[in-house]
Structure 1
């Protein structure tokens, strides 16, 4: 059952700890605080999912780039200097820019200067700087799961294990003290996690209420509800 909670916490209970907190630097009393990674077979499944999503959305971005306003794409954002049209044909910068854009129809022309190509769209990294700005798909709408995350300084970000820790010890005070939540925020985060479990349980039972997976989710729902109900009066 703990493995199931670990997987669900990695998928749905994603609260990151501050980058200044690292394993081994502090002592915690009841909670583990740092959430373990997904099991290897699930990481493989996540990688496959991300690859499929990246391929689909990469092609979508390439198709959407045909609707871009190329005149604005060749315009510098602050000075508004425009490098499109024949009037700039004698510019060495424009010649270089134009040559870099051959065969690179889906990315910002200025991003070509860094050696980026349409293939870089498929990696789903630095999308905001690669995509055409007048035919942009916000990154938040691309359903990728980042199973590893770093901050701007390259430090690893760790997921908070509050959902799994609460399942183990059932103490809201420990979540507040060790996992760096205040009591109210801890309860509502745990409640949201429980509601996710309940929603999954209902959906699985509708598919097949005798399936072992559906039964496991229902048992987890009951267990989590019992633990959450026990601390309701303390909030």
Structure 2
């Protein structure tokens, strides 16, 4: 039996387990299973590997995308540049970290881009934000980063004015704000300056339409949630494990 899985904490809402279990059934991939491994601290990672020596691949979710790196033998270029890992391949006794969020995000975003989507506003500064920034760099889209607290090249939500909002027609929420069950939360940006020229992209997929996306749609913006990105990054993980 080939075992794959997901580490993170907590793991009450795991997209990956459902996705891969369904994939194995639908595509008649026998002898494969996908499990969730909630570990309360990353220091439990070596014990998990010792307990499951047959692991073929792991996905990594919050809060361990950055914390897991010291436990790995190698990193892909993207993972090294981003400083975050969401996919681990076990091969020839080595643990190599990859970042498939970049692939999922880029492939999901590109078909939606219009000629006027020339600048992006990235909301949040975590591991997911780093993957988004890396993808934007690959696509040659300049970006500004905003969060609740400014610093290190990051501006505060409160300092976003009409000129900034109108110039940055692509707005990406990389924070968990608005994710179920906290559906009444959203990044505190001036939504009144959003127009029909804007594209709002939310990495959150549950609920399908977050308050962030609802507020954008109310202003006539195009919107997209993170569901397709998740599917694409999961498929990218599968490709990496089976290379």
TM-score range, shorter chain: under 0.3
* Greater gyration radius: 1
Larger RCO of the pair (alpha carbons < 8 Å, separation 6+): 1
So what's the TM-score if we normalise by structure 2? 0.24
Q: Please state which structure has a larger fraction of its residues in helix.
A: 1
So what's the TM-score if we normalise by structure 1? 0.24
